[in-house]
């Protein structure tokens, strides 16, 4: 299954306290962004890679892209706007949206998502919640404890039929609605069911210095 990948890498990463975009932090001499890109570059069915980031900075850090599949899109004021900028350039009928600071996705997980999209319109890598999750009131009191066996944590990539995600992004913009992830837009604006695909706890997002340990 051919697809486009939108890699969202426009954030400032303030919680990393680096003073620069965290995707350019180097792990064993290789930037987080380069590690993130690797499985997509190795997948022949990934026909287009849209890097949503500051193009000038990216070229300064990594040099000019050697793979013709890589194109750039500017970041937005929010992650959702950045995704919309990237999705506007998508050429394939299927799109994977992935965090630029989530460098540990595997080729198998990409394959599992593609397999899910053969039957579904949307799919999301997820892992079971390890922690007990409680709903809390604005005043700071526990309201209820949610049943952990029904709770899962969303990861990326999240995969969609491109037109479906475009329509949801457009409706969200019109409503001034911002979701916490892309699958939530499909949940809010359509009756399409989002297929759960097994992720991995290793597929973590680099958000704070503790994530590098």
Alpha-carbon distance of 127 to 39, in angstroms, equals 20
Q: What is the pLDDT of residue 178?
A: 97
Question: Are the C-beta atoms of 206 and 14 separated by less than 8 Å?
Answer: no
What is the H or E stretch that residue 46 is in?
strand 46-52
Q: Is 15 helix (H, G, I), strand (E, B) or coil?
A: helix
Q: Where residue 17 falls among pLDDT bands split at 50, 70, 90? A: low
Range of the domain at 200: 3-212
What letter does residue 150 receive in the DSSP assignment? G
Q: Count CA within 13 A, CB hemisphere, residue 197.
A: 29
Cis status, amide bond into 65, omega within 30 of 0: no
Q: What is the pTM of this model?
A: 0.94
Q: Quick one: tokens of 112?
A: 């599992």
Alpha-carbon distance of 194 to 201, in angstroms, equals 20
Q: What is the pLDDT of residue 64?
A: 96
pLDDT per residue as tens digits for the range 44-102: 999 999 999 999 999 999 999 999 999 999 999 999 999 999 999 999 999 999 999 99
Question: Are the C-beta atoms of 53 and 10 separated by less than 8 Å?
Answer: yes
Residue 210 predicted with pLDDT over 90: no
Average pLDDT over every residue of 179-202: 97
166: CB partners within 8 A, 6+ apart: 87, 88
Pick from 210, 15, 209, 172: nearest CA to 80: 172
Could you give the number of structural domains in the chain? 1
Pick from 179, 126, 182, 122: nearest CA to 151: 126
CA angle 179, 12, 113 (to 5 degrees): 50
Q: Quick one: tokens of 165?
A: 């995600």
208: CATH: 3.90.550.10
């Amino acid at each position: 299954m051919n697809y486009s990948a939108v890699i969202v890498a426009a954030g400032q990463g303030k919680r990393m306290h680096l003073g620069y975009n965290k995707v350019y932090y180097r792990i064993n001499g290789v930037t987080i962004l380069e590690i993130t890109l690797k499985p997509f570059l190795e997948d022949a069915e990934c026909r287009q890679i849209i890097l949503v980031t500051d193009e000038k900075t990216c070229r300064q850090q990594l040099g000019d892209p050697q793979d013709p599949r890589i194109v750039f899109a500017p970041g937005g004021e929010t992650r959702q706007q950045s995704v919309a900028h990237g999705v506007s350039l998508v050429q394939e009928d299927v799109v994977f949206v992935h965090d630029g600071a989530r460098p540990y996705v595997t080729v198998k997980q990409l394959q599992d998502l593609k397999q899910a999209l053969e039957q579904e319109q949307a799919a999301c890598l997820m892992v079971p919640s390890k922690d007990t999750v409680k709903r809390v009131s604005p005043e700071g009191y526990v309201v209820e404890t949610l049943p952990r066996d029904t709770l899962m944590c969303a990861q990326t990539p999240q995969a969609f039929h491109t037109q479906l995600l475009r329509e949801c992004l457009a409706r969200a913009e019109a409503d001034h609605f911002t979701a916490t992830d892309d699958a939530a837009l499909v949940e809010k604006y359509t009756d399409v069911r989002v297929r759960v695909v097994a992720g991995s706890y290793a597929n973590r997002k680099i958000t704070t210095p503790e994530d590098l340990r």
